[in-house]
């Protein structure tokens, strides 16, 4: 089993790191304070292929793999966790349209999504249904050559910022069976509105709000794939989403560890750097070990998706659970090693701690990850 990255993968990783150092890290604190994403920077990321990482080349996609994506999101998160995580969501939209949309839809939307001329948000969660996605209440009713959508989506990253919203909605059948379909709703469509911006613990740079649909009429051509296939699309995207968010935890934790190594080498107590104390050395050693273990699990899970391994879903759940738990722990340990300075915004560690905490909830809570893992063991 060879864990060595290819020459191309090393180039991809280094390109993402260079971009993060130059375009993300210097502005992360500013974006957090202003509570906004930078469209200019997102466009620059798209120019490097980071808006369509695993999308086919036909309409401008980068046609890379899920392991490549993990390498990219890890490095981008070293600069700004919030921006990197948003790019992961946008990539989900681009991939879903390109993979499941018909030729006409792909030609209309994918080129704009690939360049981030159109920015996409993914809308699955509702106020009353989180992990139980099948309990969604948003409905789409066919009316001639249109669908009329009613309902609301909660915790939507990019709400009132993005240009395109991928909406999962129930499409009622005469038989009474539940049927979920996927739709694209463009910003500015009559009946589409947004709730107030949520006040969050972290991810301050990402606007987050409810997406509200009130008799929102869209062309039937904006349905992605066949009616009733939306739930299958959503499930198909979960493995990759879990690897992506785990990779974002790697990047944030890695940046926090590097900051802790630098700080403990410079900060003196009792006449010597605190890195000279064995307690500090052991803490740093544990943090580095936990980060490396997490990285190996995330990379392996991404590779298993690329190879369509039969155990990929369980591996992705394990990797997501472990990497996001360890990422939060490593960042919190880095804050502790900074002492009181770690609690100050000027040092940037407390922002990483806050930004990484939500990763244990996103893409299926880590409790749901345990359900998936245990089912694979007991089936």
CB-CB neighbours of 282 under 10 Å: 10
Positions marked active-site: 363
List Cα–Cα distances, 158 to 162, 237, 251, in angstroms.
5, 19, 21
pLDDT cut 70: percent of the chain above it: 97
Structural element, H or E, at residue 153: strand 146-157
How high is the pLDDT of residue 318? 98
Query: For 169, which DSSP code?
Result: E
134 pLDDT more than 80: no
How high is the pLDDT of residue 379? 85
What does the pLDDT look like over 82-95, one tens digit per residue? 999 999 999 999 99
What pTM was computed for the model?
0.94
| 210 CB burial (10 A radius; 0-12, 13-18, 19+) | buried
How high is the pLDDT of residue 49? 96
Residues with Cβ < 8 Å from 263, sequence gap 6 or more? 337, 338, 341, 347
Domains in the chain, CATH or no CATH each: 7-118 (1.10.540.10), 121-228 (2.40.110.10), 231-378 (1.20.140.10)
How high is the pLDDT of residue 189? 97
Q: According to DSSP H, which parts of the chain are helical?
A: 7-19, 28-34, 39-47, 66-79, 81-100, 103-115, 230-266, 278-306, 312-337, 349-357, 366-378
How far apart CA 332 and CA 377 sit, in angstroms, is: 32
69 pLDDT more than 80: yes
What does the pLDDT look like over 277-309, one tens digit per residue? 999 999 999 999 999 999 999 999 999 999 999
Identify the CA nearest to 185 among candidates 203, 210, 211.
211
How far apart CA 110 and CA 330 sit, in angstroms, is: 37
List Cα–Cα distances, 203 to 8, 143, 161, 244, 344, in angstroms.
31, 39, 15, 16, 17
């Amino acid at each position: 089993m060879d864990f060595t990255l290819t020459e191309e993968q090393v180039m991809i990783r280094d390109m993402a790191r260079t971009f993060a150092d130059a375009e993300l890290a210097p502005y992360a604190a500013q974006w957090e304070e202003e509570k906004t994403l930078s469209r200019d920077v997102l466009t620059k990321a798209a120019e490097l292929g980071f808006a369509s990482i695993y999308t086919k080349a036909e309409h401008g996609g980068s046609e890379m793999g899920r392991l490549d994506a993990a390498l990219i999101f890890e490095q981008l998160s070293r600069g700004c966790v919030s921006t990197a995580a948003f790019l992961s969501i946008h990539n989900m939209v681009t991939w879903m349209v390109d993979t499941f949309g018909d030729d006409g839809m792909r030609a209309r939307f994918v080129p704009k999504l690939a360049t981030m001329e159109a920015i996409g948000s993914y809308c699955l969660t509702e106020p009353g249904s989180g992990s139980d996605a099948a309990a969604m209440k948003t409905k789409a009713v066919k009316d001639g050559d249109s669908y009329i959508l009613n309902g609301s989506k909660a915790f939507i990253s990019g709400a009132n910022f993005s240009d395109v919203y991928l909406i999962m909605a129930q499409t009622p059948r005469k038989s009474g069976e539940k049927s979920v379909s996927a739709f694209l709703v463009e910003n500015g469509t009559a009946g589409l509105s947004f709730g107030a911006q949520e006040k969050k613990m972290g991810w301050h740079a990402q606007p987050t709000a409810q997406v509200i649909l009130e008799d929102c009429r869209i062309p039937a051509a904006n349905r992605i794939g066949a009616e009733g296939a939306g739930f299958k699309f959503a499930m198909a995207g979960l493995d990759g989403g879990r690897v992506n968010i785990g990779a974002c935890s790697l990047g944030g934790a890695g940046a926090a560890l590097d900051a802790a190594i630098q700080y403990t080498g410079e900060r003196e107590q009792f006449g010597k750097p605190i890195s000279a104390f064995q307690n500090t050395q052991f803490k740093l050693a544990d943090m580095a070990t936990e980060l490396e273990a997490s990285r190996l699990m995330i990379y392996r899970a991404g590779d298993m998706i690329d190879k369509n391994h039969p155990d990929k879903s369980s591996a992705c759940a394990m990797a997501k659970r472990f990497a996001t738990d360890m990422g939060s722990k490593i960042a919190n340990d880095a804050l502790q090693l900074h002492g009181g300075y770690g609690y100050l915004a000027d040092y940037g560690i407390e922002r990483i701690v806050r930004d990484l905490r939500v990763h244990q909830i996103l893409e299926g809570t880590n409790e749901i990850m345990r359900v998936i893992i245990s089912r694979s063991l007991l089936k």
